[in-house]
Amino acid sequence: MTKFRKLGRDTAHRMSMLRTMVSQLVKHERIETTVTKAKEIRRLADKMVTLGKEGSECAARSAAGFVRGDDVLHKLFTELAYRYKDRTGGYTRLLRTRIRVGDAAPMAYIEFIDRENELRQSKPPTPQPPQKAPLDPWTKSRLSRHFNEKTMMQ
């Protein structure tokens, strides 16, 4: 696995907690947790959705080794893979909510986007600028030479 925040836990406890939280996020599609945990969950949840979109047997085995529950795995490879088939990334949203009373930890909702009853609507995709046709090197050098001659004359 990649480098994670320590979250005040040893490795086995941290990975177990993250596996459970990602599974609960996939199952319920929105959970409330602390901001630092939500930032770590986001990385893993996006990775699981990417595996679900891939749909191969190798991806299914990798996802099954991480998430908990057959129902979660089924939802990941059917419903979420279909929902995000056209999206290239950024499947989750983090919304800061409150300060927890007991220890003043900042809390946040982490949720999947483009679903029913979401807390905030997704932004429309930004339109990509039109692609210019590449210039061949000879035309490019002629244009730059012509431009340099004009500036030298002034």
Q: What is the pLDDT of residues 53-96, one digit of tens each?
A: 888 899 889 999 999 889 999 999 999 888 888 888 888 999 99
Contact between 37 and 21 (Cβ < 8 Å): yes
DSSP calls for 16-52: HHHHHHHHHHHHHSEEEEEHHHHHHHHHHHHHHHHHH
What is the Cα–Cα distance from 89 to 100, expressed in whole angstroms? 30
Percent of the chain with pLDDT over 90: 34
Give me the residue label for tokens 């699981």. 48
CA dihedral 60→64→66→71, nearest 10 degrees, is 110
What digits encode the pLDDT tens for the residues 118-131? Answer: 667 766 667 777 87
With respect to residue 31, please indicate whether it lies within any of the assigned structural domains. yes
With respect to residue 96, please indicate whether it lies within any of the assigned structural domains. yes
pLDDT at 10: 87
What is the Cα–Cα distance from 92 to 28, expressed in whole angstroms? 13
Banded model confidence at residue 5, pLDDT cuts 50, 70, 90: confident
Q: How many domains does the chain have?
A: 1
With respect to residue 55, please indicate whether it lies within any of the assigned structural domains. yes
With respect to residue 66, please indicate whether it lies within any of the assigned structural domains. yes
pLDDT at 90: 85
pLDDT at 154 over 70: no
With respect to residue 141, please indicate whether it lies within any of the assigned structural domains. no
What digits encode the pLDDT tens for the residues 84-112? Answer: 888 888 889 999 999 989 899 999 999 98
With respect to residue 68, please indicate whether it lies within any of the assigned structural domains. yes
The H-or-E segment that residue 97 falls in is strand 92-99
Query: Comparing 126 with 10, which gets the higher pLDDT?
Result: 10
Task: Output the domain CATH number for residue 73.
Answer: 3.90.1030.10
* Domain ranges, residue 62: 11-123
Which among 52, 45, 47 is positioned nearest to 81, based on CA atoms?
A: 52
pLDDT at 136: 63
With respect to residue 40, please indicate whether it lies within any of the assigned structural domains. yes
pLDDT at 23 over 70: yes
With respect to residue 148, please indicate whether it lies within any of the assigned structural domains. no
